[in-house]
């Protein structure tokens, strides 16, 4: 253990088992540690750094904003908030945006927005239907809708009125619907839970069910959104527009920012002045990151790039799965892929790290591949060369 690791371990609450690597800088899709060792990054800071590292245009925009103004509070307008919100509205097809500081807070806000909607309409609805194996964050509200007992149990009682359905089983959702159901919350592609994609019939069925029963559909696009699946947001490939959606991770390219957004119809009956707030959320610095990130995504046509390079990654992983008896299943789409392996995931990840490749896990024995969205086929080949050797 070197000085950096020691200081960290001695000062922080012990909530993480970290890899014995101290990262110092990044360039393109590579990270470098304090020893100067180079790593090909297939984790992107957990699906955050879509533009990779050291994007000159983004960095210049952030530096310029720092020199002007970083924070104002939401009691005032600022020069970047409207621009970022307008850009986010455009790509999300939503009508109203609320900026938060994280994904968890975006979920909290989305849940509150749904509860307020029911309250104002006077329906008496307050229950949420969430999915098994889902992940929505760690605050009391977000953990209440997270379908993983490991994350929830130590903090019980969590907020009441949450029921869990089986992902991709519409009947199991229908069975939980009552006249108290306020919202159905789901990730169109479960990330943390092990890279599980929603079936089109399931997504369409949820949308139909919500319409019929007067329930709000809430999509958590925090991990699978922002181009990662080969659509800007995952729901767009299903044609199932949610009433409320949560975003974060890649929308600020590493600057901590999230957002929840809703349709005008939802907003009409939802949060009003005084209902919800945040000191930092939507500050000029965070919004400069969002506005510039979206500008680059659109100009560079990054979503089509993800579609192309994601198809290549998928094809190569399928070939590897066929050639090696070590892979049980490949799941996912675009640049959010998972391979379920026979061997211990921890072992494989540690061996990859030694070989200069950063991988992370998801769910049970799944290696999760969520590289920066700017990777090329050459980077995929470089990753596979190492993975093939290990497996
Ligand atoms: C990461 C994640 C969250 C939580 O976001 P934070 O920024 O860590 O608070 C919520 N939902 C999903 C799907 C995520 O992947």
CA distances from 334 to 32, 309, 386 (A): 26, 7, 20
Q: What is the pLDDT of residue 1?
A: 87
Question: What is the Å distance from ligand 1's center to 309 Cα?
Answer: 25
Q: What is the pLDDT of residue 280?
A: 97
Tokens of 209: 């069910």
Contact assessment for residue 295 and residue 329, using Cβ atoms and an 8 Å cutoff: no
Ligand 1 atom with least separation from CA of 142: 10
Ligand 1 atom with least separation from CA of 102: 7
- Give the sign of the dihedral formed by CA 79, CA 58, CA 137, CA 220: positive
Tokens of 94: 């939503």
Question: What is the Å distance from ligand 1's center to 235 Cα?
Answer: 17
Low-confidence ranges of the chain (pLDDT < 70): none
Q: Which domains does the chain have, with CATH numbers?
A: 3-55+301-390 (3.90.1150.10), 69-299 (3.40.640.10)
Question: What is the Å distance from ligand 1's center to 389 Cα?
Answer: 32
Q: What is the pLDDT of residue 323?
A: 92
Ligand 1 atom with least separation from CA of 134: 13
Ligand 1 atom with least separation from CA of 105: 9
Question: What is the Å distance from ligand 1's center to 136 Cα?
Answer: 6
Instruction: Tell me which of 43, 47, 136 to substitute to probe ligand 1's pocket, judged by most ligand atoms within 8 Å of the beta carbon.
Output: 136
Q: What is the pLDDT of residue 151?
A: 95
Has this prediction a pTM greater than 0.95? yes
Question: What is the Å distance from ligand 1's center to 220 Cα?
Answer: 8
Instruction: Report DSSP state, residue 199.
Output: P
Tokens of 89: 């509205």
Q: Measuring CA to CA, which residue among 302, 206, 300, 290 is closest to residue 252?
A: 290
Question: What is the Å distance from ligand 1's center to 142 Cα?
Answer: 9
Instruction: Tell me which of 47, 111, 137, 246 to substitute to probe ligand 1's pocket, judged by most ligand atoms within 8 Å of the beta carbon.
Output: 137
Ligand 1 atom with least separation from CA of 137: 4
Residues 6+ apart with CB under 8 A from 105: 137, 139, 258, 278, 281
Question: What is the Å distance from ligand 1's center to 324 Cα?
Answer: 32
Sheet of 127-131, strands arranged across: 96-100, 258-262, 244-247, 216-220, 181-186, 127-131, 162-165
Ligand 1 atom with least separation from CA of 224: 13
Question: What is the Å distance from ligand 1's center to 346 Cα?
Answer: 22
Query: Taking CB atoms and a 6 Å cutoff, what residues make up the pocket around ligand 1?
Result: 102-104, 107, 135-137, 187, 191-192, 220, 222-223, 248-249, 258
């Amino acid at each position: 253990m070197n000085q950096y690791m020691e200081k960290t371990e001695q000062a922080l609450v012990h909530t993480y088992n970290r890899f014995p690597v101290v990262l110092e800088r990044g360039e393109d899709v590579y990270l470098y540690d304090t020893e100067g060792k180079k790593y090909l990054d297939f984790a992107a800071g957990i699906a955050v750094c879509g533009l990779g590292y050291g994007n000159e245009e983004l960095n210049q925009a952030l530096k310029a904003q720092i020199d002007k103004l970083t924070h104002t509070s939401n009691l005032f307008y600022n020069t970047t908030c409207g621009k970022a919100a307008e850009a986010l509205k455009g790509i999300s097809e939503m009508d109203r945006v609320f900026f938060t500081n994280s994904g968890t807070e975006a979920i909290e806000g989305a849940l509150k927005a749904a509860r307020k909607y029911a309250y104002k309409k006077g329906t008496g609805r307050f229950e949420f239907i969430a999915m098994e194996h889902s992940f929505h964050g760690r605050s009391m509200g977000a953990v209440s809708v997270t379908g993983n007992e490991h994350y929830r149990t130590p903090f019980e009682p969590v907020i009441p009125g949450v029921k869990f359905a089986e992902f991709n089983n519409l009947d199991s959702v229908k069975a939980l619907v009552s006249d108290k159901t306020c919202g159905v919350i789901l990730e169109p592609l479960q990330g943390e839970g092990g890279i599980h994609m929603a079936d089109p019939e399931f997504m369409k069925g949820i949308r139909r069910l919500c319409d019929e029963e007067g329930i709000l559909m809430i999509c958590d696009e925090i991990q699978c959104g922002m181009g990662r699946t080969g659509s800007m947001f995952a729901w767009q490939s299903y044609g199932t527009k949610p009433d409320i959606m949560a975003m974060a991770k890649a929308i600020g390219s590493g600057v901590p920012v999230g957002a929840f957004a809703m349709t005008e119809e939802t907003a009409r009956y939802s949060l009003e002045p005084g209902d919800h707030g945040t000191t930092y959320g939507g500050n000029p610095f965070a919004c400069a990151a969002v506005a510039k990130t979206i500008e680059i995504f659109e100009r560079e046509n990054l979503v089509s790039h993800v579609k192309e390079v994601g198809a290549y990654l998928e094809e190569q992983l399928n070939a590897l799965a066929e050639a090696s008896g070590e892979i049980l299943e490949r799941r996912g789409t675009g640049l959010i892929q998972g391979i379920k392996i026979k061997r211990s995931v921890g072992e494989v990840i540690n061996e990859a790290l030694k070989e200069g490749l950063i991988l992370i896990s998801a769910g049970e024995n799944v290696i999760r591949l969520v590289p920066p969205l700017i990777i090329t086929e050459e980077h995929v080949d470089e990753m596979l060369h190492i993975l093939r050797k290990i497996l």
